[in-house]
């Protein structure tokens, strides 16, 4: 008895030691290990003193960076199932940057594998982490599976000077760049959320398809990308609103993650009738709860210090009686979105449309306005100009949910992939479409309102082979946070 019990106790002790001292990244179903490749006193080893923030207990900048990386690895690790360690080769370096633009960070699968006997799809490229799962062993021992490189210069002179990294683990990043959210996005790419197809030429990597590509379906052509020639794929990559993800797990999960389709429609005059792309505000009523139809009218306000033009809506309207009961159309700029919305409501408007003052997508609008009861929308500069040019003819718009339709999906409720025209290398195809609602982790314009969850991305990874019976079910977001047809770049300020 004694002779048998001693090894058992020793084993128990060993188990306890392992449980106590195992790295955080190893607690999940998959062990994702962060391989720190930085040198002394740089990146993850930066000794600069830092104050713990948002649950990140690190006391140096380097420690906080590593803890944030480990948190992102832990989130993914708990959702994936593989017996093989996933190694993320990671560094923080000064990446190319200017005062107002720069890379926050990036990642890619370090190695890809094809013709693996255990892989579900023969002759297709798989990221090595997934191929290792199929093989049940590390196919390239000692190699890393994902390379991740992040920018250590953010917030310093000459690099995104007005911003800074937020290393907290609670998603309360304010105007900072949420490292954990960016990491979750980038690790998603490294785990397989990308196609190796050249989205400009349509050519496959080394003349072989990849597993992501095999589930890309063009609703117009009625073909998967793997059934197309390169030229067809190149054309398909800019087939806006008609390229979808055709994977069963993702399709089944769409109702959990996609909110209702909300449309801003110009009813008349017929010359400009149709749906408009629009942005929404984080303040005021949720547009998915609103249903209205109304005439559009242009407020006039004083050209004063609050706003130097008479169309910016920054001061009390001088023609309030002409706005009451109508949809106020004002120009972006000079004062906050909240001020514009408040002035519109004070004049009796039933909604306010903010026309962008520069070329680009309709902006998302941040701010706080507890007393605001009217919806606030933004449109592009060109759409705003078209509305304004037709006011004399009488412009009527409708805003509301389109019954039975979800945002961000194609004809058969399969989620849309991002297909702008012209193609945007890196953004096109290897992301969800920006019309998804609520915002999704793998949209190209990373949203400022993302919680630290992986939403519809996890079912997609299931589709390419990460699935397992032991996976926890993905948890949907609690409430939609933007409208269905929104194509706006999400912005994180209350400035105009």
Partner 1 sequence: MAYRIPMFRLLAPAAGLILAASAGLAFPAPPPADSCPAIDPPEAASPERGIRVFVDPATGQLRRPTSEERQRIALSSRDRSGKTYEVLVRPDGTRIVKLDETFLMSVVAKVNPDGTTSYSCRKGRAAAAAEECPAEDSQ
Restricting to residues 414-433, which ones interact with partner 1 according to CB under 8 A?
424-427, 430-431
Smallest gap from Cβ 384 to partner 1, in A, equals: 16
Alpha carbon of 353 to those of 65, 258, 278, 408: distances in Å?
A: 41, 25, 9, 22
Identify the residue among 61, 68, 86, 104 touching partner 1 (CB under 8 A).
104
Is 239 a binder of partner 1 (CB under 8 A)? no
Is 307 a binder of partner 1 (CB under 8 A)? no
Q: How many residues does the chain have?
A: 496
Site map 51..70 versus partner 1, x via CB under 8 A: --------------------
Residues 133-192 that bind partner 1 (CB under 8 A): 139-143, 147, 149, 152-153, 158-160, 162-163, 175, 177, 182, 185-186, 189
Residues 182-201 that bind partner 1 (CB under 8 A): 182, 185-186, 189, 194, 196, 198-199, 201
Alpha carbon of 103 to those of 71, 146, 153, 192, 332: distances in Å?
A: 21, 18, 10, 21, 27
The phi, psi pair for 78, rounded to 5°, reads -70, -15
Token digits for 188?
């998603």
Is 478 a binder of partner 1 (CB under 8 A)? no
What residues have CB less than 8 Å from 16, skipping those under 6 apart? none
Identify the residue among 11, 41, 291, 373 touching partner 1 (CB under 8 A).
41
Query: Which one, 159 or 328, has the nearer CB to partner 1?
Result: 159
Nearest 10 degrees: Cα torsion 183, 184, 190, 191: 160
Task: Find the part of the chain contacting partner 1 (CB under 8 A) among 15-23, 47-55, 88-96, 346-354.
Answer: 88-96
Residues 341-380 that bind partner 1 (CB under 8 A): 358, 360, 363
Smallest gap from Cβ 228 to partner 1, in A, equals: 15
Is 338 a binder of partner 1 (CB under 8 A)? no
Query: Which one, 7 or 117, has the nearer CB to partner 1?
Result: 117
What is residue 457's three-state secondary structure? helix
Is 284 a binder of partner 1 (CB under 8 A)? no
Residue 77 CA to residue 55 CA, distance in Å, equals 19
Is 130 a binder of partner 1 (CB under 8 A)? no
Is 435 a binder of partner 1 (CB under 8 A)? no
Is 313 a binder of partner 1 (CB under 8 A)? no
DSSP characters over 360-406: SSPPPB----TT--S-EEEE-HHHHHHHHHTGGG--EEEEEEEEEEE
Token digits for 401?
């949910």
Is the sign of the CA dihedral 478, 417, 278, 426 positive or negative? Answer: positive
Is 227 a binder of partner 1 (CB under 8 A)? no
Smallest gap from Cβ 392 to partner 1, in A, equals: 30
């Amino acid at each position: 008895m004694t002779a048998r019990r001693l090894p058992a106790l020793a084993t128990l002790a060993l188990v306890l030691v392992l449980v106590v001292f195992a790295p955080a990244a190893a607690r999940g179903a998959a062990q994702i290990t962060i391989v720190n490749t930085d040198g002394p006193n740089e990146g993850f080893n930066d000794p600069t003193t830092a104050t713990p923030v948002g649950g990140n207990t690190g006391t140096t900048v380097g420690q906080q960076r590593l803890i944030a990386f480990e948190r992102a690895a832990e989130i993914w690790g708990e959702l994936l199932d593989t017996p093989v360690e996933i190694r993320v080769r990671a560094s923080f370096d000064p990446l190319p940057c200017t005062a107002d633009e720069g890379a926050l960070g990036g990642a890619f699968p370090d190695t890809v594998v094809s013709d693996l006997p255990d892989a579900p799809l023969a002759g297709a490229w798989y990221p090595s982490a997934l191929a290792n799962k199929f093989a049940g062993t590390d196919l390239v021992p000692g190699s890393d599976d994902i390379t991740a490189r992040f920018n250590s210069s953010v917030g310093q002179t000459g690099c995104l000077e007005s911003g800074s990294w937020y290393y907290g683990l609670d998603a309360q990043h304010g105007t900072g760049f949420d490292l954990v959210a960016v990491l979750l996005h980038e690790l998603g790419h490294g785990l397989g959320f990308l196609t190796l197809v050249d989205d400009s030429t349509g050519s496959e990597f080394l003349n072989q398809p990849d597993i992501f590509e095999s589930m890309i379906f063009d609703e117009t052509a009625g073909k998967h990308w793997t059934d197309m020639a390169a030229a067809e794929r190149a054309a398909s990559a800019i087939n806006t609103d008609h390229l979808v993800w055709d994977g069963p797990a993702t399709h089944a999960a769409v109702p959990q993650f996609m909110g209702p389709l909300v449309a801003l429609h110009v009813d008349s005059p017929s010359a400009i009738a149709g749906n408009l792309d629009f942005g929404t505000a984080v303040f005021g009523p949720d547009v998915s709860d609103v249903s209205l139809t109304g005439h559009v009218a242009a407020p006039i306000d004083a050209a004063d210090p609050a706003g130097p033009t008479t169309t910016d809506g920054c001061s009390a309207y001088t023609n309030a009686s002409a706005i009451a009961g109508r949809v106020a159309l004002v120009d972006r700029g000079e004062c906050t979105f909240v001020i514009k919305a408040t002035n519109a409501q004070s004049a009796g408007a039933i909604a306010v449309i903010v026309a962008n003052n520069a070329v680009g997508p309709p902006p998302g609008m941040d701010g706080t306005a507890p007393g605001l009861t009217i919806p606030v929308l933004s449109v592009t500069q060109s759409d705003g100009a078209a509305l304004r040019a037709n006011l004399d003819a009488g412009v009527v718009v409708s805003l509301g949910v389109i019954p039975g339709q979800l945002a961000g999906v194609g004809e058969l409720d399969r989620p849309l992939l991002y297909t702008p025209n012209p193609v945007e290398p890196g953004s096109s195809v290897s992301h969800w479409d920006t019309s998804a609602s609520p915002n999704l982790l793998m949209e190209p314009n990373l949203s400022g309102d993302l919680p630290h969850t992986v939403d519809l991305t996890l079912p997609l990874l299931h589709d390419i082979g990460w699935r397992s019976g032991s996976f926890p079910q993905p948890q949907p977001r609690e409430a939609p946070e933007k409208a269905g047809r929104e194509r706006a770049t999400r912005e994180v300020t209350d400035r105009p």
